[in-house]
A and B are shown apart, each in its own frame.
Chain A
Amino acid sequence: AQKITQTQPGMFVQEKEAVTLDCTYDTSDPSYGLFWYKQPSSGEMIFLIYQGSYDQQNATEGRYSLNFQKARKSANLVISASQLGDSAMYFCAMREPLTGGGNKLTFGTGTQLKVEL
């Protein structure tokens, strides 16, 4: 079963506008972490923002904020004041336990964001 679901394969936004990228997750573990990464065409994974399951407030990092709705199991990324350089693939990921100890990241299918003039 899909643990992380990103339903938007592609999104367009105009420069300077805000955009929301959707992410829903599935876990029965009360302790988990949710991540968003940006992957430009060069391929590197750039960490954007993190939300812990016990965090009381929604995470924010500069122009990035995470709309965390625990009961709905959603962790949407909001990018404010979009810039052309924001055009990239965006992945939502969840930290989940590894069999035998430790944790791993499981990724969603990604959303390709294109910022237009």
Chain B
Amino acid sequence: GAVVSQHPSRVICKSGTSVKIECRSLDFQATTMFWYRQFPKKSLMLMATSNEGSKATYEQGVEKDKFLINHASLTLSTLTVTSAHPEDSSFYICSARDVRDRKSRGYTFGSGTRLTVV
């Protein structure tokens, strides 16, 4: 079945630095990838939709300059948290769309990245 690899699984960074999170589709090409943010014991909130070769579409209220998304190839999307602050600490999870995956109806999730900004 479709596999999405997300790295790193955990990262601790200093306030003011930038952090890059990678999301790779391992055995399929993903024209669309999704980035979610999840606070503890809360729901997944869609941050942006990433389309290969074009600009990401951000949800209302998400700072485009803070959360930079790049989808340069059909198998890789990256989320860069720029000038991170403690309030950016959260669980970030990506999802990729494999239209061939009938079982999960195409939405495969990475294992998530727990970001802690100190």
A interface residues with partner B (beta carbon < 8 Å): 33, 35, 37, 42-45, 47, 50, 89, 91, 95, 98-100, 102, 104-110, 112
Query: In the assembly, what is the distance between CA of A104 and CA of B104, in Å?
Result: 14
Number of chain B residues close to chain A: CB under 8 A = 24
Q: Which of B21-29, B36-44, B61-69, B71-79 forms contacts with chain A?
A: B36-44
Contact of A100 among B44, B57, B105, B112 (CB under 8 A): B57
CB distance B91 to A47 under 8 Å? no
Within 8 Å of chain A (Cβ to Cβ): is B80? no
Q: Tell me which residues across on chain B come within 8 A of A37, comparing CB atoms.
A: 109
| Closest-CB distance, B28 to chain A (whole angstroms) | 15
B interface residues with partner A (beta carbon < 8 Å): 32, 34, 41-46, 49, 51, 57, 91, 93, 95, 103-105, 107-112, 114
Interface of B is mostly: strand
| Closest-CB distance, B70 to chain A (whole angstroms) | 18
Interface of A is mostly: strand
CB distance B104 to A102 under 8 Å? no
Contact of A105 among B42, B103, B107, B112 (CB under 8 A): B107
Knowing A50-B104, A100-B57, A104-B34, say if A44 contacts B111 (CB, 8 Å). Answer: yes
Contact of A102 among B45, B49, B114 (CB under 8 A): B49
Contact of A109 among B42, B91, B93 (CB under 8 A): B42
CB distance B104 to A105 under 8 Å? no
CB distance B44 to A47 under 8 Å? no
CB distance A43 to B34 under 8 Å? no
Q: Tell me which residues across on chain B come within 8 A of A102, comparing CB atoms.
A: 32, 49, 51
| Closest-CB distance, B34 to chain A (whole angstroms) | 7
Contact of A50 among B57, B105, B108 (CB under 8 A): B105
Closest residue on chain A to residue B38 by CB atoms: A43
CB distance B46 to A104 under 8 Å? yes
Closest residue on chain A to residue B111 by CB atoms: A44
Q: Tell me which residues across on chain A come within 8 A of B110, comparing CB atoms.
A: 44
Knowing A98-B57, A102-B32, say if A91 contacts B43 (CB, 8 Å). Answer: yes
